[in-house]
Amino acid sequence: MTKPTKYLLGLLAAAALSIGTAQAGSVLKIVPHADLKNTDPIWTTAYITRNNGYMIYDTLFAMDETFNVHLQMAGAHSVSDDGLVHTITLRDGLKWHDGSPVTSADCIASINRWGKRDGMGQQLLAVVDTMFTVDNKTFEITLTEPWGLLTTALGKMSSNVPFMMPAEKAYTDPFLQVPMPLIGSGPYKFVEAEWVPGAKVVYEKFADYVPRSEPASAASGGKIAYFDRVEWLYIPDQNSAMNALINGEVDYFEAPQSDLYDLLDAADNVTTGQRDNYGSQGWLRINHLNAPFDNVKARHAVQLLVDQETYLQAIVGTPELYRTCGAMFLCDTPFETFVGSERVMTQDIEQAKALLKEAGYNGEKIVLMHPTDIPSLSHATQVTASLLRKAGINLEVQAMDWSTLTSRRAEKKSIADGGWNIFHTSWIAPDLLNPVANIGVSGGGIEKAWFGWPTDAKVEQLRQDFARETDPAKQKALADQVQARAMEVVTYVPIGQYLSKYAYRSDRLEGILKGPVPLFWNLRPK
């Protein structure tokens, strides 16, 4: 037995768990990319929590692998001639995991809660006049003006996904987490009694789930649970996770680091796959509330420190899997633009030093949060630490796991009281493709902006104008203006675009869905 495998078994034994050999046809065993500590996908945008949401919950509409929107929980949707009244009727057979029927009142409560946290949801609620039930299966959304993104918003694929919850859960303050038990209407049930944070998450097939008849495509279509039980086994050590897959102890490894790809491809009965053609955009996110980055000159300094090639080499290493890109809405997309990206794409450390001085920086401690358990983010953080020190920053790097970071980043404390200045994250294509979906360009401040809380009325107005515009040429012009303003304000710093892979036991599994989000229905034993 190899040392990494001994480590793996010891880790899980310590939690009174046993991996054993994965049992195809009954139990699907997955190594997720992070530990699940926070379970509410409306409260947080963390992808591990989103993935947990997809196991448990369902959505009214859903996107396929080409980002087209389809009916999902909704059985019918109609719009009045003036574009103001949307009528949504639920399809037959929808039940919550406690056996009660899904109702239109549940959906209205869920939309309201989601809309208070999500960027697209906020834009939608801004034009909603009323939402009311027609009957238990039908409800109407009346708008103050036509808004062509309604189904796109309610069918968005990634964070925050507008998952439907029972009304009593959806009445929870959106700035607090929904309490246990987690009750959804999706293909799997969350097994609270077997959840061991730091080690294991368990789901059981929901026998009363009625899939749609259409073939599955990304988040849309028939969600068929072929396994009776799904186990997420958190293995923070990458080599241990790789060996667990090679040795047949797990079936699927969600996010191996790039230097393991060749080893995985060379292993018997193991195959790597690329999730989509857009990949992820890396972010450096700055806290606008704490000095010196409450001064725009200090934020410009950070832009000038960036060398995307250095970041991408550290994150991925293989040039075929990455590209430098100054487009906030990604390269090779309808809203690609490079306006305002000059500072991000042209490193100038000496000018960065000068701007920091102009901003009044005088050696105060800067806190950089370092997620040690996600390799791509860890490597990016190490690059940033080096660059900040070159610029003369008095830096404190605080190490933590990703789940801890996703809790810490919500804190609006001063540095003296335990707050933070900078962290790294990444986002997939569905979260970035336009100024409304991309929450990173929001200037909504402490009430509406994402963690870091940039405040800028101009960029918010431009985003609203974009959401209301239906002419494609005018939309493109507005997207250019949003990026120009977001780059000037420095809502975030893009550090490049890169692809990643997953790995699985090709002798055991088939049916992996193509798309940017890891979805575990449709996976079936071979």
Structure confidence by residue, pLDDT tens digits, 308-359 = 999 999 999 989 999 999 999 999 999 999 999 999 999 999 999 999 999 9
**What is the spatial distance between Cα 123 and Cα 119, in angstroms, rounded to a whole number?**
7
Q: Is residue 12 over pLDDT 60?
A: no
Q: Is residue 229 over pLDDT 90?
A: yes
**What is the spatial distance between Cα 160 and Cα 50, in angstroms, rounded to a whole number?**
7
Confidence of residue 32 (pLDDT cuts 50, 70, 90): very high
Confidence of residue 465 (pLDDT cuts 50, 70, 90): very high
What are the DSSP calls for 466-483, one per residue? Answer: HHH---HHHHHHHHHHHH
CB neighbour list of residue 87: distance below 8 Å, 6 or more residues apart: 76, 77, 78, 79, 134, 138, 139, 140
Q: What does the pLDDT average to over 350-378?
A: 97
Strands 188-190, 200-205: pairing is antiparallel
**Torsion on CA atoms 150, 109, 202, 23, rounded to nearest 10:** -50
Amino acid letter at 472?
A: P
Closest by CA to 276, choosing from 493, 431, 438, is 431
**Residues 133, 139, 144, 150, CA torsion sign:** positive
**By the 8 A CB rule, do 223 and 186 touch?**
yes
Q: What does the pLDDT average to over 481-506?
A: 97
**By the 8 A CB rule, do 318 and 278 touch?**
no
The pLDDT value given to residue 11? 42
Confidence of residue 470 (pLDDT cuts 50, 70, 90): confident
Q: Is residue 287 over pLDDT 70?
A: yes
% of the chain at pLDDT higher than 70: 95
Q: What does the pLDDT average to over 395-409?
A: 96
Per-residue pLDDT tens for 84-116? 999 999 999 999 999 999 999 999 999 999 999
What are the DSSP calls for 424-472, one per residue? Answer: EEEEEGGGTSSTTT-GGG--BHHHHSPTT--B-HHHHHHHHHHHH---H
**What is the spatial distance between Cα 130 and Cα 175, in angstroms, rounded to a whole number?**
23
The pLDDT value given to residue 4? 40
At 150 the three-state DSSP class reads: helix
Per-residue pLDDT tens for 170-200? 999 999 999 999 999 999 999 999 999 999 9
**What is the spatial distance between Cα 393 and Cα 440, in angstroms, rounded to a whole number?**
25
Burial of residue 179, with CB atoms counted within 10 A of its CB: 0-12 exposed, 13-18 middle, 19 or more buried: exposed
Q: Is residue 142 over pLDDT 80?
A: yes
What mean pLDDT, rounded, does the chain reach?
94
**What is the spatial distance between Cα 242 and Cα 233, in angstroms, rounded to a whole number?**
13
Q: What does the pLDDT average to over 48-58?
A: 98
Task: Point out which residues pair with 27 in neighbouring strands.
Answer: 229
Q: What does the pLDDT average to over 421-440?
A: 96
Q: Is residue 14 over pLDDT 60?
A: no
Q: Is residue 246 over pLDDT 70?
A: yes
Q: What does the pLDDT average to over 55-83?
A: 97
Query: Tokens 């068929």 — which residue?
Result: 224
Q: What does the pLDDT average to over 48-56?
A: 98
**By the 8 A CB rule, do 270 and 506 touch?**
yes
% of the chain at pLDDT higher than 90: 93
Q: What does the pLDDT average to over 10-23?
A: 41
Q: What does the pLDDT average to over 476-480?
A: 98
Q: Is residue 25 over pLDDT 90?
A: no
Q: What does the pLDDT average to over 66-83?
A: 96
Q: Which structural domains are found in the chain, ordered by start?
A: 3-34+187-257+502-525 (3.40.190.10), 61-169 (3.90.76.10), 280-498 (3.10.105.10)
Q: Is residue 499 over pLDDT 50?
A: yes
Task: Point out which residues pair with 272 in neighbouring strands.
Answer: 503
Q: Is residue 24 over pLDDT 60?
A: no
The pLDDT value given to residue 148? 87
Range in 25-29, 402-406, 448-452, 455-459 the model is least confident about: 25-29
**What is the spatial distance between Cα 74 and Cα 71, in angstroms, rounded to a whole number?**
5
Query: Tokens 């009244």 — which residue?
Result: 85
**What is the spatial distance between Cα 490 and Cα 297, in angstroms, rounded to a whole number?**
10
Per-residue pLDDT tens for 150-176? 999 999 999 999 999 999 999 999 999
Residue 515 zone, left/alpha/beta (φ > 0; ψ -120 to 50; rest): left
**How many helices and strands in the chain, by DSSP H and E?**
17, 21
The pLDDT value given to residue 7? 37
Q: Is residue 19 over pLDDT 90?
A: no
The pLDDT value given to residue 520? 95
Confidence of residue 214 (pLDDT cuts 50, 70, 90): very high
Tokens read off for 374: 């996600």
